[in-house]
Amino acid sequence: MIYQQKGVMIRQTNYSESSRIITILTEEGGQVPLMVRGFNKPNSPFIVLRQGIKEFLFTYTRFKGMGTLNEVDEVQPFKKVNADFDIYSHASYVMELVIRALEEDVLHDSFYRLLIKSLKLMEEGSQPAGVVAFCAIKMLPYYGGELNVTECAVCGSKNNRNFFNYSFKYHSVICSACMNDETGARSVPVTNRVLYLAGYMKHVAVTNVDSIKISEENAGSLLKFVELIYDEYTGVYFKSRKLLQSY
């Protein structure tokens, strides 16, 4: 059967001197392995696949198991993302956040939409660290994590102007009136603005986000806070996170 689907290449491995096997994440959220004959040849029609993070339209033949790629066309080349090392590193982080949560034989079309939205936001000039934080907050439930920033875990107050701490004892924010030596055990100070942004990103629908225009400082603090949450609840080690911290 012949398929034509939008997708992003998420893995590749050499099969022979001239051919590679790639795995694509399709717009339906499935993973499809494809044989790409002639991938490594200098005049290959699949040369566009070699570099960068891009959205493609893949035309392939598949019956069962591995398919064969027939044609590939660029849909979104994400030129700015692929040309700027800092943005590219953040985009790689977004890719990893999505890819690591994929499961065999489970379709996650929402993952695909989130991935493309995140890349598009970066392409259009949103703060890269803010976009990674947004993507990480949306992916958190799939890693078994939680983030509660709408009400104080002790008194139930929803007055978010009084939130300055996040507690790993209560798995939630605690308001300033309820903070004392006992309730404050295993809590970390987080700015009010960062907690507000985290709550907004948790609840907003992915389709309703057109840009993430926050200061570089707030974006950085927000990402640090979200990474703290990942460290606490998931124990997943992201290679691209390490890369970002090392330069």
Binding site for Zn ion (CB under 5 A): 152, 154-155, 157, 175, 178
Nearer to Zn ion, 91 or 175 (CB): 175
Contact 72, 24 (CB under 8 A): no
Closest contact distance (angstroms) between CB of 119 and Zn ion is 39
Nearer to Zn ion, 57 or 154 (CB): 154
Contacts of 176-182 spanning 24+ positions with Cβ under 8 A: 178/152, 178/154
Residue 191 phi/psi, 5° resolution? Answer: -65, 150
Residue 183 in 3-state DSSP? coil
Nearer to Zn ion, 21 or 154 (CB): 154
Closest contact distance (angstroms) between CB of 166 and Zn ion is 13
Closest contact distance (angstroms) between CB of 200 and Zn ion is 20
Nearer to Zn ion, 187 or 218 (CB): 187
Beta bridge pairs of residue 25: 8, 31
Cβ within 8 Å of residue 144, ≥6 positions away:
233, 234
Side by side, the strands of the sheet bearing 172-175 are 172-175, 163-167, 187-189
Nearer to Zn ion, 132 or 179 (CB): 179
Closest contact distance (angstroms) between CB of 197 and Zn ion is 20
Closest contact distance (angstroms) between CB of 178 and Zn ion is 3
What is the rounded CA–CA span in Å between residue 93 and residue 227? 12
E runs forming strands in 152-234: 163-167, 172-175, 187-189
Closest contact distance (angstroms) between CB of 183 and Zn ion is 8
Handedness of CA 40, 23, 36, 47 (dihedral sign): negative
Lookup: tokens for 147: 């983030």
Nearer to Zn ion, 48 or 154 (CB): 154
Closest contact distance (angstroms) between CB of 238 and Zn ion is 33
Nearer to Zn ion, 165 or 218 (CB): 165
What is the rounded CA–CA span in Å between residue 65 and residue 78? 30
